[in-house]
Structure 1
């Protein structure tokens, strides 16, 4: 039985604003990344007080009716809501399957009509949180996917599949033709708190101020601080300012709780000072890094 559980309530509206405007975790990676100007226009509409007063209750209701246990699905729900309510967009399809002879050969995350230019756009979206293993590789905390395989899958399959004859035939049944494609890949990147390797050129350095550490390294780094810490559930991994945290602990206490529980998966934790988040990272099991190195052997591409 766990000796520790935090009480954190995410702010769905703040998560929506983060979803629409967070920087991509990579740059110059051969993907049609959504331009900053489009992100700003999306966020500005939902950032107004009038819009929030009118639509925040609808967002809460939408999420209550579409419960998402996986963070990626929650992230897609937020985009679906945005496309359905922003005046520049009309949601045409979500998760459109491409089937041939009873087999699903691919799926299109979103098809939207971009009204200012009266064109149909295909969007692939993913929110990712990766920990740096060495100078080249980043893996998810659960060791189930990697940054390089995710980028390759989006570049070589998820986007090109929309240009196949199968996709054109499927879309033609709905009188649709894709004019443009976008990739959206926000998230956070976590570097070792001790001796971090250099950053690859494609990594966005603005998203690398986060860390991962074993319990002992975490304690050594933060033991004399006066911040309060808590473990974050996945829906609090997005916006880092507006969630509410209760049952907070000092750094030494949360490290002791991790030692006692001996979890196999890392804990995402954050520190607050005067109600503001001041640090965020993953506490990982002592053998996590070795398991991560072992996971770098050839694998199937991430399906998320």
Structure 2
């Protein structure tokens, strides 16, 4: 039990911070900075990025976020100019804003393309410099993977909802291709004096089949050694199984659009329910029947009557998805 206490304390601290923030984009930025990593460090090449060089920087960032939450117009204008439609790009814009205006590491360059003979061979996400003078190369990824449910305990078991991505393939590409970019000869000619310490900044959610979450303790559910045990977790269900659990799991539901896949949606006004943003379980089942692919949904409960808060989130997938996911995972 002792080993779980730091993770539990960190989760409580993040929850308290998110509870104090109202603006969705500010909440997403706070989650990006303070949420647990999806991966453990993989020394020597796969070290983890930290937005903060000291406890003082982390504390200053909390104060900065609380101030930003009072007037987030500049952040929203930056997002609007970027015409963000993809989750990864949204996360890049949030982190870039923090590196330009926040109280910690400073942005040197972003999206630095490396080319050879006119062909792009890679792109470094962020080059940053800390207050202590460290020069860091960060590779950012925000991923949502569903554990396919096979018998093995492997990174390959974790697949993207649309079965076009797999955690082991992303992990290998990150270690073997993306992180070494700043050490290549082509990079040295771009004028960004190094050396640069390459680090991975990988956040997101991992989703486990509902029966795993309901019947097996998360503490004993085996996970690959590469995955951080404190990672953010959700669940998944086949569409035919969803109605039997939906009514008993939450007072209300919502379909989460892709750009709402970062921070939990804790602070939703009660009047959103009357505006159609929140649905009863029957209405959600009816809506999901019109969907052809996996859909992320969130379960909501009311607090003292003033707010709805997200209780959990998960994917509702087509009935044939589990078998196709196992095949995609190589099981």
TM-score (norm 1): 0.84
Alignment counterpart, residue 65 of structure 1, candidates 60, 81, 104: 81
Q: Measure, in 2, the Cα distance between the counterparts of 1:270 and 1:54.
A: 26
Question: Taking CA–CA contacts closer than 8 Å with sequence separation of 6 or more, which of the two structures ends up with the larger relative contact order?
Answer: 1
Alignment CA distance shift 1:252-1:203 (3 Å):
farther
Alignment deviations for residues 111-167 of structure 1 (CA, whole Å, 9 cap, x no partner): 1122x2223211111101100013421011111111111111111110112111121
Q: Measure, in 2, the Cα distance between the counterparts of 1:46 and 1:28.
A: 23
Aligned residue for 1:111? 127
Pick which of 198-207 and 267-276 moved more.
Answer: 198-207
List aligned pairs for 1:16-31, cutoff 5 A: 16-30=29-43, 31=46
Aligned residue for 1:224? 248
| Structure 2: gaps (5+ residues) | 1-21, 214-220, 303-307
Structure 2 SS opposite 1:264: coil
Conserved? CA contact 1:10–1:235, under 8 Å = no
Q: Measure, in 2, the Cα distance between the counterparts of 1:130 and 1:71.
A: 14
Conserved? CA contact 2:250–2:300, under 8 Å = no
Pick which of 95-104 and 21-30 moved more.
Answer: 21-30
Size of the alignment, in residue pairs? Answer: 284
Conserved? CA contact 2:85–2:259, under 8 Å = no
C-alpha deviation, 1:181, in angstroms: 2.1
Q: Measure, in 2, the Cα distance between the counterparts of 1:277 and 1:182.
A: 32
List aligned pairs for 1:131-170, cutoff 5 A: 131-133=146-148, 134=150, 135-136=153-154, 137-170=157-190
Q: Measure, in 2, the Cα distance between the counterparts of 1:88 and 1:223.
A: 45
List aligned pairs for 1:64-83, cutoff 5 A: 64-83=80-99
Q: Measure, in 1, the Cα distance between the counterparts of 2:258 and 2:115.
A: 32
Alignment deviations for residues 1-20 of structure 1 (CA, whole Å, 9 cap, x no partner): xxxxxxxx971011111111
C-alpha deviation, 1:292, in angstroms: 1.7
Q: Measure, in 1, the Cα distance between the counterparts of 2:298 and 2:238.
A: 15
Conserved? CA contact 1:236–1:243, under 8 Å = no
| Structure 1: gaps (5+ residues) | 1-8, 299-304
Aligned residue for 1:204? 228
Q: Measure, in 1, the Cα distance between the counterparts of 2:204 and 2:112.
A: 24
C-alpha deviation, 1:110, in angstroms: 0.6
Aligned residue for 1:126? 141
Q: Calculate the aligned-residue CA RMSD, in Å.
A: 2.5
Aligned residue for 1:277? 310
